[in-house]
Structure formats: C-alpha cells, structure tokens
Amino acid sequence: MLTATAPVDRADATSSGLRPVSSASLEALRIAFGLLGAASAVRFLARGWVGSLHLDPAHHLTYPGFDWVAPL
C-alpha cells in the first residue's frame, strides 16, 4: 500500500544545500590521487617503459581520412 509523504519545504532544502561543509575529505582524495600518479610516473621512468611504450611503438593507428599523416 502506498502512503503519501509530507511535502518538502523548499526553504529547508535550499538552506541544507548551502551550509558550509568540511573540505578535508576532498583534500585527502586529491593528495592520495596525486601520490598515486607520482608513484606511477616514477615506476614508468625507473623501469624504462617510457621509451618502449610511448616513443618506439611497433605500429601506429591512423584515423580514416588521415592516412597522409605519418609519425616522425
């Protein structure tokens, strides 16, 4: 059986959406993501993957109509 709910007061919904919120969780997420990216970059450099994966690929994929563009 369905029951009716009380209507939402727009003033309460607006005021709850405009209250200040701590940004600590966002800061922690950004720091963790930055550390993860830095660790990944160091790993790529330490293992020599930059040259083998990005600079010397064995094949090049082209887009239709751009066959005239050749890699350097």
Token pair for 15? 């005021």
What is the DSSP secondary structure assignment for residue 18, as one 8-state letter? S
Cα gap 6→22, rounded to integer Å: 30
Mean of the per-residue pLDDT values of the chain: 84
Looking at residue 1, what is its pLDDT? Answer: 63
pTM for this predicted structure = 0.55
**Dihedral of the CA atoms 39, 41, 43, 46 (nearest 10)?**
-130
Q: List pLDDT tens digits, range 28-45.
A: 999 999 999 999 999 999
